[in-house]
Structure 1
Amino acid sequence: MDSLAGNMKRLTYNEGAVIVEQDASMSSLMIVRNGVVAVEREVEGIMADETRLAPGDLFGERGVLLGAAEPARVRALTFVVVYQIGKEDLASVMRDRPTLAEELGLLLAKRIENERQFIESHRHPDEGQPTSIAERIRHLFEVPHAEHH
């Protein structure tokens, strides 16, 4: 944090303000300094809370590290202060402190897994939705369950 401090831009958002729209591309890493942020995702037409971010938490890493769009909307739940770090500034800090790349990679991998679980839990299960691969195959080919003798 200290090595980034000189290159950070301080931004403030009022309660309820949308900081990032779902599917937006971000070119900066954002660190929550004060307040609480909601990460909300639209699943099957319904906006649901995926997680909350508190001081010290990051967002925007997907756009900065992978050039990918944000999978969820980020909204201020309280008055929020965030520090914004541009890609170039982040790159120079990573060159000075290579372990930062690993830390951000782990964070991103964990987020992607949490998002996958969130989406799975918010899908409306179909009647008798198959779970195992064998179940899916039986379901797809309309094969009855084998009798165990």
Structure 2
Amino acid sequence: MAAKGNNSSRRSSRALAFQVLYGLNFSPAKDLAQLQEAYCASPDVSDRGGEAHPVGFAWELIEGTWTNQKALDEIITRFAQNWRVERIGKIELTILRLAVYEMLYRADVPPKVAINEGIELSKQFGDDKSRNFINGILDAAAKALEAGTITCKY
């Protein structure tokens, strides 16, 4: 029973991370302090009275995805056949960055879970077409990870 609560908590943390990272597409953070401000200003965080220092799974996803964005975009570009990162919709790109980050940088998240959670985020924030697009890229990245043509960073 506790595991289910943890999964639900992680799912809501992913949704929060998505929302903060998506917002950064329109108002980019120039440094870690601005990233922390964006996180603390998020309605889900500020409604709880904010946090003096960002902590928890959502913050780890936000900071890790933001910090490794260039490397994540290179992986996404590699598997998004005929798509440049600049042409991918902001919702889809944010979901892809989060899921690829979890796949490559989080030892506690198996690739299948990262794919599933990416698809769940696309159901919540994207449309039907984005699900297939996201699934295709994440599946290709997972297969490359399994084959050893890309490596985990943890």
Name the TM-score, length of structure 1 as normaliser: 0.29
Greater helix share, structure number: 2
Task: Compare relative contact order (CA 8 Å, sep 6+) and give the higher one, 1 or 2.
Answer: 1
Bigger radius of gyration among the two: 1
Greater strand share, structure number: 1
